[in-house]
Amino acid sequence: MATISFPHNHQSSDSRRGGSHHHRHGPVVEEIEGLIKVFNDGCVERPPIVPTVSPTLHPSAKATAFDIKLSNDTWTRVYIPDAAAASPSVTLPLLVYFHGGGFCVGSAAWSCYHDFLTSLAVQARCVVVSVNYRLAPEHRLPAAYDDGVNVVTWLVKQQISNGGYPSWVSKCNLSNVYLAGDSAGANIAYQVAVRITASGKYVNTPNLKGIILIHPFFGGESRTSSEKQQHHSKSSALTLSASDAYWRLALPRGASRDHPWCNPLGSSTAGAELPTTMVFMAEFDILKDRNLEMCKVMRSHGKRVEGIVHGGVGHAFHILDNSSVSRDRIHDMMCRLHNFIHP
C-alpha cells in the first residue's frame, strides 16, 4: 500500500520490549501495528491486512492483466488496455510501476494496487508493468533498487532478443518508457532512474522519457515543518514514528536517515541526470515539505519538474481513501498522468 500506518495504534520498538510481548521468536524489536512485526531472532510477521487478488479482470475493466515470474524473488503484473489489444498496429507507452509500503510491506497483487493500476492503464492509455520486489528487513536496500533495474533491463532485452519477443511486448513502445511509483515505490523509481541514466553503467537501457513520483518517501535526520506539524495527523496514513521505523528496517544497518538513499537532497547533484519529472504531493502528508524541496532542487539543475499538491487529502490517498474528495483528486491525477505520458 504505500508507506501506510495506523496513526493511533503505532507503538515504537522501545515500548514493545517488555516481558508481556515475548514470543517463541524472542521479544518484538520493531513493530508497525497491523502491518509488520520483527522479532529479536530476525523472524518477520506481516498480517494480511490487504487482500491479494489474481490478475483476472472482469470484461468491464477494459483491460487484460497477467503475471510473469522473473526469478524466485521477483515477478511482475502486466496491464494492457483493450484498446491496444484490439489493434495489432497500436503501441502504447510503457509505464513501470513500483508499489509502496515503506520497502517492508506491500505486493503487486494487493487489491488496492490492482484496482488503481487497472484504471491507470485504461485512463492514461499505457501498458503498465507493476513490479513485485524483495522486501526489507529480510532484504535491505539496495535489494529493491537492484530488482527494479533488473526488471527494466529485462524489458529492454525482450525487444532485442534474437528469438523474438512475447506478443504483449509488441504492444509497448520501448522508446517511450516511464518509471513511476508511490511512497517507497516512488523512492525506488527515483533511484532506479538514477542508476539507469548513469553514464555507461548499464548496457541495455530504455529511452526513459519521464519519472512519476507520487508522494515520494524520502527522509532526513532534520525534521521539516510538515513532519513536525502532521506527525500525528488523523488525515494522513503515514505517521512520523512509522516513517522512522520503516527507515530503520530498510536502510543498511547502522545508516542514519541522512543516507543518500533516504535523503538524496544531501547531494549537490540530486536529480541532475533525470528526465522530465512529475511529483504528486498531498496537503496533509508529512512528506509534503520534503517533496516540495526536491522539486526546487531539481529545477535548480535545469530540470523540467511538474509539481502538484492535492488539497484536503493525505499520504497515498489514491489507494487508501475512497471519500468524495479523494475521488475528485484521483480523477485529476489520472488526467494529469495521461497528459504527461501523452504530451
Q: Tens digit of pLDDT for each residue in 255-275?
A: 999 999 999 998 777 887 899
In angstroms, rounded to a whole number, what is the distance separating the alpha carbons of residues 185 and 182?
5
Full-model pTM: 0.91
Residue range 8-28: mean pLDDT, rounded = 51
**pLDDT higher than threshold 80 for residue 1:** no
**b/e code 149-178 from CB counts within 10 Å (16+ = b):** bbbbebbbebeeeeeeeeebbebbebebbb
Domains of the chain (ranges, CATH numbers): 58-341 (3.40.50.1820)
90/320: higher pLDDT: 320
In angstroms, rounded to a whole number, what is the distance separating the alpha carbons of residues 276 and 99?
21
Lowest-confidence segment of 9-13, 47-51, 157-161, 331-335 by average pLDDT: 9-13
pLDDT band at 161 (very low <50, low <70, confident <90, very high): low
Say whether 183 is catalytic: yes
Percent of the chain with pLDDT over 70: 88
Q: What pLDDT score does 137 carry? A: 98
Q: What pLDDT score does 248 carry? A: 98
Q: How many CB atoms lie within 10 A of CB 227?
A: 21
Q: Is 186:98 a contact under the CB 8 Å cutoff?
A: yes
Q: What pLDDT score does 6 carry? A: 37
271/331: higher pLDDT: 331
pLDDT band at 162 (very low <50, low <70, confident <90, very high): very low
* Alpha-carbon radius of gyration of the chain: 19
Residue range 116-132: mean pLDDT, rounded = 98
Per-residue pLDDT reduced to its tens digit, 167-219: 888 899 989 999 999 999 999 999 999 999 885 666 567 789 999 999 999 99
| DSSP per-residue letters across 238-258 | --HHHHHHHHHHHSPTT--TT
Residue range 324-338: mean pLDDT, rounded = 98
Q: Which of 5, 107, 130, 183 is catalytic?
A: 183
Per-residue pLDDT reduced to its tens digit, 74-120: 999 999 999 887 787 889 999 999 999 999 999 999 999 999 999 99
Q: What pLDDT score does 7 carry? A: 36
